[in-house]
Amino acid sequence: MITPLVFGDLFTYESREYIYLAKTEEIVYAAQILPVTDTNRVNKFYESKVIKGKEDKIAKHPLFCFVMLKTSKFKDRCAHFARTGLDDFSFFIEKLSVVLDKDDLMQVLNTIKSDSPVPMQLKELVKDIRL
């Protein structure tokens, strides 16, 4: 029997790690956990924009929609929302036995529910989730 994924479950697909967020009949929403090198690039680019005083412009840009994770296995990596709903997970995905820290889960959920640039349908799907 295959156990369905629930909000916050971790899985791999094509050697990449993801946090499962929600799904519809056609779309699976997940946040990719970027490798450290990619996390550093995104974070440095974000910080350079903040230093230049462009917070208003970057707040709505999907590239800058991420959560820095503190869970020991994923420390110094970010959960990135830029492609959520765009990846095709139609093939086998492998659920990981690792569990995100409650603080990380809360940050992920709060980021989705906030005025972030994630799809409105995802916001609707998670609106009643309480951790």
Domain boundaries, the chain: 10-126
Distance CA 27, CA 102 (A): 25
Of 60, 63, 71, the residue nearest 17 (C-alpha):
71
Of 20, 16, 27, 17, the residue nearest 6 (C-alpha):
20
Summarised one tens digit per residue, pLDDT across range 76-126 is: 999 999 989 888 776 677 889 999 999 999 999 999 999 899 999 999 999
Tokens of 63: 């590239």
Summarised one tens digit per residue, pLDDT across range 19-75 is: 999 999 889 999 999 999 999 999 888 888 787 776 777 777 888 899 999 999 999
pTM beyond 0.85, yes or no: yes
